Amino acid sequence: MPQMAPINWLSLFIIFSITFIMFNMMNYYSFYPTLPKSILINKNNLTNSLNWKW
């Protein structure tokens, strides 16, 4: 493989880098986190407990 031109290595590196970055960005932004139900229940209980009953 040393007979390959350096510009060819550079273009392969650039194509690989762009593909790698795009793949990571698509995976990062396509993930939609969901809250566990226990956190949602605790949040509702917290807001309800802050209402004072005089």
Give the mean model confidence (pLDDT) for residues 16-29. Answer: 94
- Where is mean pLDDT largest: 8-17, 29-38, 44-53? 8-17
Give the C-alpha separation, 36 to 42, whole Å.
10
Q: What's the Cα-to-Cα distance from 28 to each of 5, 21, 22, 38, rounded to whole Å?
A: 35, 10, 10, 25
Give the C-alpha separation, 12 to 22, whole Å.
15
Q: What is the pTM of this model?
A: 0.49
Pick 10 or 23 by higher pLDDT: 23
Domain boundaries, the chain: 6-49
Predicted confidence at residue 53, as pLDDT, reads 64
Predicted confidence at residue 30, as pLDDT, reads 85
Give the C-alpha separation, 47 to 51, whole Å.
7
Give the mean model confidence (pLDDT) for residues 12-35. Answer: 89
Q: What are phi and psi of 27, to 5 degrees?
A: -70, -35
